Chains A and B, each alone.
Chain A
Amino acid sequence: MNISLLIISIFLVLALYLGIKARKGKDMNMEQFAVGGRGFGTFFIFLLIAGEIYTTFTFLGGSGWAYSKGAAAYYVPAYIFLAYVLSYWLVPKIWRYSKRHSIISQPEYFASKFKSRSMGMIVAVLGSLALVPYIVIQLKGLGIIVSEASYGAISPVAASVIGAVVVTTYVMISGIHGSAWTAILKDFMILVVVIFLGIYIPFHYFGGIQSMFETVQAAKPEMLVLADQGLSQSWFVSTVLLNALGFYLLPQTFMVVLSSNGERTLRKNAIALPLYTLLLLFVFFIGFTAIMEIPGLQGADGDLSLLRLAIQTFDPWVIGVIGAAGLLTALVPASVMLMAASVGLTNSFFNVLVPAATEKQQLIVSRFIIIGISIIALIVTVTGGEALAILNIMSYSLITQLAPSLFCSLPKNNMINKYGAMSGILAGVGIVLYATIANVKVATFLPDIPPVINDISTGVIALFINMIVTFVVSALTKHNTMQEKEMNDMNKIS
């Protein structure tokens, strides 16, 4: 065992220990398990929400995109800080309603708002569909990080499996408390590692950050601005808006919001969070340095740029610390994602099938679902082979299809009904899946379309059609809703 692997292993054990110990003194019920009894204050909420953005995607994919696609990578911090701005207005409303109705998951929220269990089921399935690629990204990233940082002593697959076992174990035991405790360790590590690398590496190779950029400018100026076609400005704007909208719709972020102890905690967090995205600048500095220092990584291998450059620069023990930080950036987000998916599925399927289920039974079922999702994600991790960013974008395109229903459900008088909401979501999701799987863009049908339109994110186009379907179907089924109102009143979910 080399020194790097030893350091990584120590942090893995530490994470497992903290994750399990987090449970101590908590009487575990569904509310504790899923949303920490709605007791998290500013500090934990900050770590958990920030934890959702410093994932392996940011660590590897952020530098990887800067390396292979240049300025297009800026879309990541751009959508995140805009999501925080939006959150100031949006999430206190969600929290307030959920608190009043004792809601602990996203599907339950939609089911309650639209008074429809089918709606809850659709949201749960969609949420899981969006989460699995996300969990896969984490496990895949974890495999890459540990394998590279241990100088190949452990294969990526073995590392992914070990990571999955650890995270599954502590999530099953401690629920969201495990995520919160390990998040402390993770954020400390990632802050230190990213700032250190982001400053040290450009100075080491080019004597400064500006001189590093000037070298890139001399060799590949196109890397420092957005392109005219493809990853162009219209792509950038549409993707940033779509993802900013989708950020708090991701089931794991939604769940973290519910775990807050008050509306003001959420608003206070919104103030500080955009500053935290500045950390991503350092990740980009590393990616841009890598363009000049380690050219030649093709396609998905661009994601390796940070680690390869670090290995070329530092002693093994530093690599071990970097690897440990990378490992934690996979574990913490993955833990919240696993839980969000499992609690959502338990709420909307198991509780409907077995309405008399006790809290204890629900907890057991949730835990089994966590194992199930881990296994599915592991299988995809081992067999699938796509670049991290593409999966990430598809997750957002899928989950953002919930946006019209969410926004319409906020005012007291909901303009749309469950039929409209469900048809709209299904239409939007159908388009995203079709376009991604068949790899079609607008130009496939209209070859003469200008790139300004063709480059618009597929998710935005799907969202547009989704909205039309939602409103049209709601208008057509208005009569139906009136008749059903009485029935609904009798069988209210909440």
Chain B
Amino acid sequence: MNAIKLLLLVPFIGFLAFLPYANKIEPYILGMPFLLFWVAFWMVMASVILLIVYKFDPDNKGSDPE
């Protein structure tokens, strides 16, 4: 388990821990009520975070063990 993988916890904590503050309709962002935007925002963030983890994860260095 390398440290970079700890970043994987960020979407769980970020998305769910702040849910009480995100559970509102206004402001609208990108045409969506705030709560829906919050969900969409974290979908995108999840991909971004996974990309960062992938780039720095030593497990992906070198050739595949196969």
Q: Does A44 contact B (CB under 8 A)?
A: no
- Picked from A92, A213, A240, the residue with its CB within 8 Å of the CB of B32 is A213
- Secondary structure of the A side of the interface? helix
Q: Which of the candidate stretches A115-123, A218-226, A334-342, A352-360 sits at the interface with the other chain?
A: A218-226
Q: Which residue of B lies closest to A211 (CB)?
A: B31
Which residues of chain B are near A274, meaning CB under 8 Å? 43-44, 46-47, 50
Chain A, interface size category, equals 35 or more
Q: Which residue of A lies closest to B46 (CB)?
A: A274
* Contact B19–A236 (Cβ < 8 Å): yes
Taken together as a complex, chains A and B put the C-alpha atoms of A31 and B24 apart, in Å, by 50
- Picked from B12, B42, B50, B60, the residue with its CB within 8 Å of the CB of A264 is B60
* Contact B15–A78 (Cβ < 8 Å): yes
Would you give the shortest CB distance from B63 to chain A, in whole angstroms?
Answer: 10
Within 8 A of B (CB), among A260-306: 261-264, 267-268, 270-275, 277-278, 281, 284
How does the 8 Å CB contact mask read for B26-66 relative to A, with 1 for contact and 0 for none? 00100111011001101110110111011001011000111
- Secondary structure of the B side of the interface? helix
Q: Which of the candidate stretches A79-87, A134-142, A343-351 sits at the interface with the other chain?
A: A79-87
Q: Does A74 contact B (CB under 8 A)?
A: yes
Would you give the shortest CB distance from A214 to chain B, in whole angstroms?
Answer: 8
Taken together as a complex, chains A and B put the C-alpha atoms of A420 and B20 apart, in Å, by 37
Taken together as a complex, chains A and B put the C-alpha atoms of A85 and B12 apart, in Å, by 9
Q: Which residue of B lies closest to A244 (CB)?
A: B12
Taken together as a complex, chains A and B put the C-alpha atoms of A240 and B13 apart, in Å, by 12
Taken together as a complex, chains A and B put the C-alpha atoms of A321 and B5 apart, in Å, by 43
* Contact B54–A268 (Cβ < 8 Å): yes
Query: In the complex where A213-B31, A225-B25, A264-B64 touch, is A77 in contact with B39 (Cβ < 8 A)?
Result: yes
* Contact A281–B12 (Cβ < 8 Å): no
Which residues of chain B are near A268, meaning CB under 8 Å? 54
Q: Does A71 contact B (CB under 8 A)?
A: yes
Most chain A CB atoms below 10 A, which of B28, B36, B51: B36
- Picked from B11, B20, B25, B44, the residue with its CB within 8 Å of the CB of A85 is B11
Q: How many residues of B contact A (CB 8 A)?
A: 35
Q: Does A233 contact B (CB under 8 A)?
A: yes
Which residues of chain B are near A241, meaning CB under 8 Å? 12, 16
Which residues of chain B are near A224, meaning CB under 8 Å? 25, 33, 35-36
Q: Does A378 contact B (CB under 8 A)?
A: no
Which residues of chain B are near A213, meaning CB under 8 Å? 28, 31-33
Taken together as a complex, chains A and B put the C-alpha atoms of A226 and B43 apart, in Å, by 19
Taken together as a complex, chains A and B put the C-alpha atoms of A236 and B12 apart, in Å, by 13
Query: In the complex where A78-B15, A85-B8, A263-B64 touch, is A210 in contact with B50 (Cβ < 8 A)?
Result: no
Would you give the shortest CB distance from A132 to chain B, in whole angstroms?
Answer: 30
Which residues of chain B are near A237, meaning CB under 8 Å? 16, 19
Which residues of chain A are near B49, meaning CB under 8 Å? 85
Taken together as a complex, chains A and B put the C-alpha atoms of A89 and B66 apart, in Å, by 19
Q: Which residue of A lies closest to B38 (CB)?
A: A74
Q: Does A208 contact B (CB under 8 A)?
A: yes
Taken together as a complex, chains A and B put the C-alpha atoms of A214 and B52 apart, in Å, by 37
Which residues of chain B are near A267, meaning CB under 8 Å? 54, 57, 59-60
Nearest first, the 4 A-B pairs at minimum CB distance are: A210-B31, A274-B46, A209-B31, A271-B50
User: Measuring CB to CB, which residues of chain B are less than 8 angstroms from any residue of chain A?
Assistant: 5, 8, 11-12, 15-16, 19-20, 23-25, 28, 31-33, 35-36, 39-40, 42-44, 46-47, 49-51, 53-54, 57, 59-60, 64-66
Question: What would 19 more interface pairs be, CB under 8 Å, given A208-B31, A210-B32, A237-B19?
Answer: A71-B36, A74-B36, A84-B46, A85-B8, A85-B11, A88-B8, A209-B31, A213-B28, A217-B25, A217-B33, A224-B36, A225-B24, A225-B35, A233-B19, A233-B23, A263-B59, A267-B54, A271-B50, A275-B47
- Residue contacts A-B, CB under 8 angstroms, 28 given: A74-B36, A74-B39, A81-B43, A81-B46, A85-B46, A86-B8, A88-B54, A92-B59, A210-B28, A210-B31, A213-B28, A213-B31, A213-B33, A214-B28, A217-B25, A225-B24, A225-B33, A226-B19, A226-B23, A233-B23, A237-B16, A262-B66, A270-B50, A270-B54, A271-B51, A274-B47, A281-B32, A284-B36
